[in-house]
Amino acid sequence: MPAKKCDFPEGALRIRFQPGTRNYRQRNPMKIIHSIREMQAEADRMRANGLRIGFVPTMGFLHEGHLSLIREAGRRADRVVVSIFVNPTQFGPNEDFAAYPRDFERDRKLSEAEGADVIFSPAAEEMYPAGHCTHVDVDGLTETLCGASRPGHFRGVTTVVTKLFTAVKPHVAVFGQKDAQQAAVIRRMTADLNLDVEIVVAPIVREADGLAMSSRNVYLSPSEREDATVLRQSLLAAEDLFRKGERDASVLIRSVRSMISSKPSARVDYVSLADPGTLQPIDEARSGALLAVAVFIGKTRLIDNLILP
């Protein structure tokens, strides 16, 4: 007999089952906060009540990849805060800041359905008021891979994440492995600045055909969408070579480049085999190395990666 669906009235107090260490917790109606000071006050109240805060920073237009991060935060914390903020400082002058997809009402519904307690959605003027002139830089890790292709991008990322951390005051923050370089940079920044935040990196979530989920996938035409599957296919082909004993990084990289270049809409930005800690290129493939790609499919730049087994 199928389970009966229970509908809760708007604003009702709910009990949410927790698949992690906690069996359940009471959940009040989700709050939407736009002010940094209000977010800090809410975080202070949570902490004063002994609640552990989980945080998922996003730029909105949520997909299953984001939702998996919200669920992971829920397993690790008593309260979950999701930020929705399209950060202008991590976009270059010719990138897609203005066109980046936005749908706040859809994001609100999805976040609430996944158990988020707070959406923090500040305006750009709130995050970067007039006279703002302080930035956070992480040397070394930000100069390779996407950092080489997108100058200034990681300065924007590390600055906004630091500001979000000071607003949300989380105990744990969850990021996705798809943005492997970003995750490594945030780990390094958090350690170097003695920020009291646990950084968790969750696995890549993929479409049925293997394409890594991304808000930018909506830019792809049907033919480009089909071509885009070559990112995952090329990585798996290189992984297969490694499993069969190939250790020359240049051979693995050539294999990936060759497969990607066979697609008419594809243009390689980079293919790299790197140390996962330093993100510096390595000549000899080894277990745990990061194989990462960035590819333009038409005008859309997509990234993907895997860790060699």
- The CATH number of residue 297's host domain is 3.30.1300.10
Catalytic annotation present for 132:
no
Are residues 194 and 227 both part of a single domain? Answer: no
- Residue 4 in any domain: the answer is no
Total domains, the chain:
2
At 28 the pLDDT is 83
- Reference 90, options 121, 58, 63; nearest CA is 58
- Residue 75 in any domain: the answer is yes
Task: Supply the mean pLDDT for the chain.
Answer: 93
Q: Of 202, 232, 267, which closes a domain? A: 202
- Above 80 in pLDDT, residue 5? no
Are residues 101 and 223 both part of a single domain? Answer: no
Are residues 97 and 149 both part of a single domain? Answer: yes
At 25 the pLDDT is 53
Q: Please compute the mean of the pLDDT values over residues 20-32 and round it to a whole number.
A: 66
- Above 60 in pLDDT, residue 6? no
Amino acid identity at 244: K
Are residues 133 and 66 both part of a single domain? Answer: yes
Are residues 142 and 86 both part of a single domain? Answer: yes
Helix 36-48 with 153-168: angle, nearest 10 deg: 50
pLDDT tens digits for range 100-126: 999 999 999 999 999 999 999 999 999
Angle (CA) 230 232 235, round 5°: 105
At 26 the pLDDT is 60
pLDDT tens digits for range 28-44: 899 999 999 999 999 99
- Above 50 in pLDDT, residue 137? yes
At 31 the pLDDT is 98
Are residues 29 and 123 both part of a single domain? Answer: yes
CB 106 within 8 A of CB 67: no
Give the list of residues 6+ apart from residue 291 with CB closer than 8 angstroms, or none.
Answer: 235, 238, 239, 252, 256, 271, 272, 273, 305, 306, 307, 308
CB 252 within 8 A of CB 246: yes
Q: What's the domain range around 223?
A: 215-307
Are residues 179 and 32 both part of a single domain? Answer: yes
Q: Tokens 């003695």: give the residue.
A: 194
Helix 249-261 with 230-243: angle, nearest 10 deg: 150
CB 279 within 8 A of CB 181: yes
For 182, how many CA atoms within 13 A lie in the half-sphere containing its CB?
25
H helical segments located in the chain: 36-48, 64-76, 104-113, 124-127, 146-149, 153-168, 180-192, 222-228, 230-243, 249-261
Question: What burial class does residue 105 get, using C-beta atoms within 10 Å of its C-beta: 0-12 exposed, 13-18 middle, 19+ buried?
Answer: exposed
Take residue 10 and report the two structure tokens written for it.
């708007």
Are residues 230 and 198 both part of a single domain? Answer: no
- Above 80 in pLDDT, residue 79? yes
pLDDT tens digits for range 249-269: 999 999 999 999 999 999 999
Q: Which of 34, 66, 135, 171 is catalytic?
A: 66
Q: Of 202, 236, 267, which closes a domain? A: 202
pLDDT tens digits for range 152-175: 999 999 999 999 999 999 999 999
Q: Please compute the mean of the pLDDT values over residues 56-84 and round it to a whole number.
A: 98
